[in-house]
Amino acid sequence: MTGINQQRLVDHFIELVKIDSESGNEKAIAETLAEQLGQLGFQVQRLPVDDMLSNGFNLYARLPGTLPGSILLSCHMDTVSPGNGISPMIEDGIIRSDGSTILGGDDKSGIAAIMEAIRVLQHDNRPHQTVELAFTVYEEGGLHGSKQFDMSVIESQRAIVLDSGGDIGTIITTAPGQQNLKITLEGKPAHAGLAPEQGINALTVAAEAINNLSLSRIDDETTANIGIVRGGNATNIVMPSLYLEAEARSLDDHKLAAQVQHMVTGFEQAAANHGASVSIDSQRAYNAYRIEDDHPLVTQIHTAFTSMGIEAKTRATGGGSDANIFNEKGLTTVNLSTGMAKVHTTEEQIAISDMVAISQFLTHFLAS
């Protein structure tokens, strides 16, 4: 039985991360992967997305198997910025960028692992389950590609997203829902030196609201944050308007609803106190999911890791992924770690041994 070809895996990963693919610019990586999957024998479909979303497309691919069962494996093709001109370096078994960009292991490590596992299975002529692939655009910043993914092409009833960090063997079975708030406060302008009392300072309204809000870590299942603030034109003008963007997340839908209402009420009350007006656009970004430890998919994943001598552990996460969207659409999906670390930073890195291990897991899982 052939093992993972470490050099081939690393070479392919480095090839992929060198292809610029910041969110919205996935055409080159999608075209490359479509061609490579075709060479591996996959039936490949290019699934269109909104032109305003990406210059690329979602990828669906299918490789029929001879064993019972079918599984969808999924990764996103885009990266956060700075993700152009990535120059990978290998030091002491660790792959990282040169420090000027992210690495792109999020999520090209998952793509490379899937394709290496398929190469090994094909080389050995090992029977495997039917494999379906969903490679998405614009996952970062809103899970947009998976929201637009044409689910009618998918036959599988279960799926694995390979898009998490942590130890190999980490199974994300619980993830939060997220609500996004866009808040516009309208006060009243006045000359800050001549007649400030005639104005209503939108920043003062916001400060009162924020001072009375519970933010950051609410409890072990719930968080909230204000991340964007824009307002003001000059120091001699009482700030007439202010725009903020905030979010709330929770593993519990009731807690999420309560936190969102707390934030909305806080801004409305502060605006009323100062005679200002407020408009709040509240939108659900994605829903929470929770899969029980004894679910057959989780059990099968545990078994595959155990056969490698790896202790698998289920846990919750505070982040969203395409798994949230697939679960919402009725496809039972967990998220597995590929070993990626320090993602979304220029210190992002991944251990070659972890890439080999997750690739090996996939061969075990698909051949069982």
Asked if 186 and 241 touch (Cβ cutoff 8 Å), the reply is yes
CB neighbours (10 Å) of residue 11? Answer: 12
Residue 114, token pair as written in the block = 């899937």
Q: By C-alpha distance, which of 291, 296, 284 is closest to 317?
A: 291
Catalytic choice (78, 106, 328, 354):
78
Q: What is the SS3 assignment for 28?
A: helix
Asked if 23 and 32 touch (Cβ cutoff 8 Å), the reply is no
Catalytic choice (106, 107, 116, 139):
139
Q: Reply yes or no on whether 252 is catalytic.
A: no
Q: How many CA atoms does the CB half-sphere of 88 hold within 13 Å?
A: 24
Q: Reply yes or no on whether 139 is catalytic.
A: yes
Start-end of H helices in the chain: 6-17, 27-39, 105-123, 144-147, 202-211, 253-274, 296-306, 322-328, 352-366
Catalytic residue IDs: 78, 139
